[in-house]
Chains A and B, each alone.
Chain A
Amino acid sequence: MTYPERGTDARLMFEARSLTKIYQMGEVEVQALRGVDLDLYAGEFVVLLGPSGSGKSTLLNILGGLDTPTGGTVRYDGHDLILDDDASMTQYRRTHVGFVFQFYNLIPSLTARENVALVTEIAENPMTPEEALALVGLVPRLDHFPTQMSGGEQQRVAIARAVAKRPQVLLCDEPTGALDAETGVMVLDVLARVNRELGTTTVVITHNAVIAAMADRVVYFGDGQVVRVACNADKKSAMELHW
């Protein structure tokens, strides 16, 4: 099965082949991925769309080095990812990948600036926390603690934290899942800007089909497999989305 692809001139960022993943959930086995092949290109904005439990998060976690597949391989930027070596995966996450989670996962005891600094302090060529927070429009909130901010603001801090290290890849797992539509749009706008201005390959997981409209490509997921891939001929800006 071949998928429509973006221009062949683009650099191949991820090459996933025959990925499988089986979880042991208590006494039941859950097959989360059933042989996924997927290519992702530098600089593209990809939306992974599918119902809950379809395996999107599992794929994202494996691509980001947060989880190991039961079978299959992942190539990143021309190199095989050694997925079961903790040290090399730590290094990989530290330098190349930025994460945004549904529930933000901010460190509650640190301010916005400090949450970003947590990452910039260990990165090689980071922005300053102030720059990163300016990028998401949160300069007035620099010294606020997570509990003093709204959900949207917290998610923007999480995005600032994810992009501050200038990662090649930004992986977002349901970034708007805990937000109302208006705030969600704002967060998506920030993601689009980061993708546009920094050229960061951005993968967004959602089960909200509306969001697919702003992607370069949409990967449809179902039952642990890629069902189909669609290219958006004319993609919309985040601000044009409604749900």
Chain B
Amino acid sequence: MIIMRAIDRKLMRDLWQMKSQAVAIALVVMCGVGTYVMFLTAQHSMRTTQDIYYRDYRFAQVFAQLKRAPESLRGRIQSVAGVDQVETRVTAQVRLDMPDFAEPVSALMVSVSESGRMGLNALHLREGRQPSRADEVVVSTPFAQAHALQPGDSFDAILNGRRQKLTLVGTALSPEFIQQMRPGSAFPDYKRYGVMWMGQQALGNAYDMQGAFNDLALSLRAGADAESVIDRIDELLKPYGGLGAYDRRDQRSNRFLNQELNQLGTLASLFPILFMGIAAFLLNVVIGRMVAMQREQIATLKAFGYGNLEVLWHYLKMVSVITGLGVVSGTVLGVWLAIKLSSIYMEIYHFPYLKFTLQPGTVLDAAAISLLAAGAGTVLAVWRAASLRPAEAMRPEMPARFHETGLEKLGIKRWLSQPARMIVRNIRRHALKSLLSMLGIAMACGIILTGLFQRDTVGYMVNVHFGMAQREDISVTFTDPTAYRARFDLQSLPGVRHVEVFRVVPVRLRHGHLSYRTGIRGVEPGGDIQRLLDTDLRQVDMPEEGLLLTDFLARLLDVKVGDRVLVEILEGSRPVREATVTGLVREYTGVSSYMNLETLNRFMHEGPTLSGAYLSVDSGQLQQLYVRLKGMPRIAGVAERVQEIRNFNRMMNETMLFFTYVATVFSIIIAFGVIYNSARIALTERGRELASLRVLGFTRTEISYILLGELGILTLLAIPLGLWLGEWMCYYIAHSMQTDLFRVPVVLMPRTYAFAALVVLVSAVVSGLAVRRRLDQLDLIAVLKTAE
């Protein structure tokens, strides 16, 4: 049998004695550590998975699209300094006619070598094999899943205007298309848009690209400068209708994925800091007060010759046990949540595998932060108690110096009963302690908002984006820029009530040394379906001249209204123009710029030309309309607004709802932990005084009123402060999460404030009841018999 030292037995028994408080503290630590471990582990795992996936499947580093270039150019591309592997491909946007699906479906068709050679952007075949015959295709796994396709199934596609039957021979994933989104859409919709791969020969034949290519992917030698390679490639491709080579960084799927992972990274740094910070603060305050109450025992230990360090070590051990409990449970919980979160991401991104890694450093950091916070609180409190002469520490604490509070001096005094005066004076007397308690409760209240605001915000974003700005029923995009008369063709289709057309031109906007690749959208003035909104969400009229920028883009480019920007058009003859920014518009998703349609056409030296149209449609005739649209070969894709909203919500729900849920549950636990501990500590600190009052004839209710009244006042003061703090935390999170993919406005519904306040109130009431039960058991005789 191991003989435990008496002082360690004291430790164990004291811990057992205060178990409910210890558990409440450990829970707070658990939430802090849990968030920390969850976010950092999930983020690290996703990053590792992404890196390994990119490496194993040779994701290219430079990409370029062009009109058409002969294979013979390949040699010259290969000889550009810094270029390692070269992959020339044919790609095409094709229309599909899925047998199970009434609406038009479009896909990006990408060529792969018929020989089965896998170069850059290799496919990860989930099922079947690579295409070898002209009518064979491999489709992306999520598209196959959305349409329940299996190897052997076939469907019709319109390749270069010709209808052709294609047979599916495999399903695959590609590092190049982790995010598969129709151009112009911010969310994947696997039922209506997919990626598929076809033999190079077959696709080349279909698009008159025998011995030619219109898509280029490169890998670079180690240490090569991507910018200079890109410049060189641009020169080479210029005569062949090059649309501007770009770095992996700007590759659509990669960029979207990075943004999402960066966002996860932002959350991974914000939430843990917030939660750990608050948990650490509370731990510090609670532990400090807990140790301070052991003042007399500390003095006794010292009287018998225990040194300050021994006493400190004793309490550090006690606190470490509690904190350790939180760290261990938090780590377990965090890992479990990280696995959950990673699997959500796996589902969204369809990675072929997950490299889940728990870094020991993450756990050690979390443990270190928790132990340090707890340790600091302990050291401070023990030091304060131990630095007193034991004789002094054993004496009852000096009656505190009380004063009439300012409030009372104002004349409110006569309305305050004696107990009420005790409450007010106590808060005033222990101003710092009261302030810290209040701050603790307020922070707990505040973080509840951080969990909930995202839900409110998403609802608001949908409302603004789809309710006020994008009001079309259906949007249609053409395969190529199309003459203006297509508008009248659309107008004459069944069920179409109103048509608004647009032109989209890929551009690079430059302002000083800042540049950004985006599109200019030419719109008709006075549009009713697509409305541009200013920063106050009022409709903006499209001016005759000049460029409107999304406010976020203006910030990226450091542009103000009235500034001139350089517009490099990445299409056709690629003219470079200047334009004046005449206004800013507010959009929560994407980074667009807008111009008057006619002005844009003039800008491009083209006649009235369109890229697509928005339709307002009689919903009764939707099915007929789809049938007609399916028959129009120039239409590349059709998007239904209802569907877009659904896609948007789904994407938000998949990721955000998880955070929201975890953050909310954790913040509720923290709120409860804090309030319960505040109440328990107050009880211990004030136990004697309250028991003395009972001896004087106060009833249980009266002393409860004194103790819980104080807690109540602090809670009530903490709630508005907490809501205000929470708002700031939300602003901070929203600000940190801004990407060009989307910006999150801070919208907090009244019910969210109410919920946060309610959680705090309920925690206070439950804690109050728990303490009330203990108040009923106060030992009155002991008070009379013993000193402090």
Listed in ascending order, the chain A residues whose CB lies under 8 Å from chain B are: 25-27, 57-58, 61, 64, 66-68, 86-87, 90-91, 93-95, 97, 99, 101-103, 105, 107, 109-110, 114-119, 121-123, 151, 161, 165, 178
Beta-carbon contacts under 8 Å, B749-787 to A:
785-787
Q: Are B399 and A93 in contact (CB under 8 A)?
A: no
Whether the pair B6, A118 counts as a contact (CB closer than 8 A) is yes
Q: Chain A residues near B297 (CB, 8 Å)?
A: 107
When C-beta atoms are compared, the residue in chain B nearest to A104 turns out to be B786
Q: State whether B389 touches A68 (Cβ < 8 A).
A: yes
CB distance from B18 to the nearest CB of A (A): 10
Task: Tell me if A114 and B10 are in contact (CB < 8 A).
Answer: yes
Q: Among residues 299 to 336 in chain B, which have CB atoms less than 8 Å away from a CB atom of chain A?
A: 300-308, 310
Q: Are A94 and B304 in contact (CB under 8 A)?
A: yes
Instruction: Check: B221 CB closer than 8 A to any chain A CB.
Output: no
Q: Nearest 8 pairs between A and B by C-beta?
A: A94-B305, A109-B13, A61-B391, A67-B391, A117-B6, A66-B391, A118-B6, A66-B390
Q: Which residues of B contact A (CB under 8 A)?
A: 5-7, 9-10, 13-14, 17, 296-297, 300-308, 310, 387, 389-392, 394, 398-399, 401, 785-787
- Given the known A-B contacts A93-B305, A105-B394, A109-B14, are A118 and B399 also in contact in the complex, defined by CB atoms under 8 Å? no
Additional pairs, 15, CB under 8 Å, beyond known A27-B401, A122-B306: A61-B389, A67-B389, A68-B389, A86-B308, A103-B786, A105-B296, A105-B300, A105-B303, A107-B300, A110-B6, A110-B10, A114-B6, A119-B305, A151-B785, A178-B785
25 A-B pairs (CB sep. < 8 Å)? A25-B398, A26-B399, A27-B401, A57-B391, A61-B390, A61-B391, A66-B389, A67-B389, A67-B390, A86-B308, A90-B305, A90-B307, A94-B307, A95-B305, A105-B296, A105-B300, A105-B394, A109-B9, A114-B6, A114-B9, A115-B6, A119-B304, A122-B304, A161-B304, A165-B305
Contact A121 B7 (CB under 8 A): yes
Do residues A102 and B787 form an inter-chain contact, with CB atoms below 8 A?
yes
Cβ-defined contact, A87 with B307, below 8 A: yes
In whole angstroms, what is the CA distance A123 to B304 when docked?
A: 9
CB closest chain-A residue, reference B387: A86
Partner of B304, one of A26, A86, A93, A110: A93
Of A68, A114, A122, the contact of B305 (CB 8 Å cutoff): A122
**Do B304 and A99 have beta carbons less than 8 Å apart?**
yes
Q: Complex formed: what's the CA distance from A122 to B301 in Å?
A: 11
Chain B min CB distance to A184 (Å): 15
Q: How far is the CA of A126 from the CA of B93 in the complex (A)?
A: 92
In the complex, the answer to whether B305 meets A91 with C-beta atoms within 8 Å is yes
From B6, B297, B306, B394, residue with most partner A Cβ within 10 Å: B6
A191 to B192 Cα, complex, angstroms: 95
Smallest CB-CB separation from B5: which chain A residue? A121
Knowing A119-B305, A122-B306, the reply to whether A67 touches B296 (Cβ < 8 A) is: no
Q: Is the interface of B mostly helix, strand, loop or mixed?
A: helix
Instruction: Name the B residues within 8 Å of A99 (CB-CB).
Output: 303-304
Bound-state CA distance A86–B389 (Å) is 9
Q: Are B394 and A118 in contact (CB under 8 A)?
A: no
Residues of B within 8 A of A66 (CB): 303, 389-391, 394
A121 to B306, CA, bound (A): 10
Q: Are A26 and B398 in contact (CB under 8 A)?
A: yes
Q: How far apart are B543's CB and chain A's nearest CB, in angstroms?
A: 75
Q: Which chain A residues border B307 with CB–CB below 8 Å? A: 87, 90-91, 94
The residue that A26 contacts in the complex, of B10, B302, B401, B786, with Cβ under 8 A, is B401
Interface pair B392/A67, CB less than 8 Å apart: yes
A93 and B302 in contact, given A27-B401, A110-B13 (Cβ under 8 angstroms): yes
Q: Kindly report which residue of chain A lies nearest to residue B297, judged by CB atoms.
A: A107
Nearest CB to that of A120 among chain B residues?
Answer: B6
When distances are taken between beta carbons in the complex, the residues of chain B under 8 Å from A68 are 389
Cα-based distance from A110 to B6 in the complex (angstroms): 7
Question: Which one of A86, A105, A109, A178 lies within 8 Å of B17 (CB-CB)?
Answer: A109
Q: Which among A57, A93, A99, A105 has the greatest number of chain B C-beta atoms within 10 A?
A: A105
Please give, as numbers and ranges, the residues of chain A lying within 8 Å of B306 by CB-CB distance.
Answer: 90, 94, 122
Tell me, rounded to whole Å, the shortest Cβ–Cβ distance linking B302 to chain A.
7
Cβ of A54 to closest chain B Cβ, rounded Å: 16
- Smallest distance from the beta carbon of A142 to chain B beta carbons, Å? 13
The CA-CA distance from A121 to B389 in the complex, in Å, is 23
Contacts of B5 in A (CB 8 A): 117, 121
Q: Which B residues are CB-close (under 8 A) to A26?
A: 398-399, 401
Residues of A within 8 A of B6 (CB): 110, 114-118, 121
How far, in angstroms, from A116 to B7 measured CA to CA in the complex? 10
**Residues on A with beta carbons closer than 8 Å to the beta carbon of B401:** 26-27
Q: Of all chain A residues, which has the CB nearest B304?
A: A119
Chain B residues lying within 8 Å of A67, measured Cβ to Cβ, are 389-392
Q: Are A64's CB and B7's CB within 8 A?
A: no
Which A residues are CB-close (under 8 A) to B302? 90, 93
In the complex, residue of chain A having the shortest beta-carbon distance to the beta carbon of B390? A66
Tell me, in angstroms, the Cα distance from A27 to B310 when the chains sit together.
Answer: 34
Contacts of B17 in A (CB 8 A): 109
Q: Residue on A with the closest CB to B296?
A: A105
Interchain nearest-CB distance for A151 vs B (Å): 8
- The residue in chain A whose Cβ has the minimal distance to the Cβ of B788 is A103
CB distance from B130 to the nearest CB of A (A): 73
The residue in chain A whose Cβ has the minimal distance to the Cβ of B14 is A109
Whole-angstrom CA separation of A118 from B387 in the bound complex: 21
Residues of A within 8 A of B389 (CB): 61, 66-68
- Distance in angstroms between the alpha carbons of A165 and B304 in the assembled complex: 10
Chain A residues positioned under 8 Å from B785 (CB to CB): 151, 178
**Contacts known (A64-B303, A67-B389, A101-B394); A90 close to B7, Cβ less than 8 A:** no
Chain A: minimal CB distance from B575 (Å): 83
Query: How many angstroms from the CA of A95 to the CA of B305 in the assembled complex?
Result: 7
Closest chain A residue to B399 by CB distance?
A: A26
* In the complex, chain A residues whose CB is within 8 Å of the CB of B14: 109
CB-nearest residue of chain B relative to A23? B392
What are the residues of chain A within 8 A of B310 when measuring CB–CB? 122
Q: How far is the CA of A135 from the CA of B305 in the complex (A)?
A: 22
The reply to whether A107 and B10 contact each other, CB–CB distance below 8 Å, is: yes
Chain A CB within 10 A, most for which of B14, B301, B303, B387: B303
CA distance A127 to B17 in the complex (A): 30
Give the shortest distance, in Å, between B571 (CB) and chain A (any CB): 80
State in angstroms the CA–CA spacing of A27 and B13 once bound together: 40
Q: Within the assembled complex, what's the spacing in Å between the Cα atoms of A87 and B308?
A: 8
Q: Which residues of B are found within 8 Å of A91, using beta-carbon distances?
A: 305, 307
A93-B303 contact given A26-B398, A26-B399, A103-B787, CB 8 Å threshold: yes
Among B5, B14, B307, find the residue whose CB has the most chain A CB atoms closer than 10 A: B307
Q: Within the assembled complex, what's the spacing in Å between the Cα atoms of A57 and B394?
A: 12
CA distance A123 to B6 in the complex (A): 13
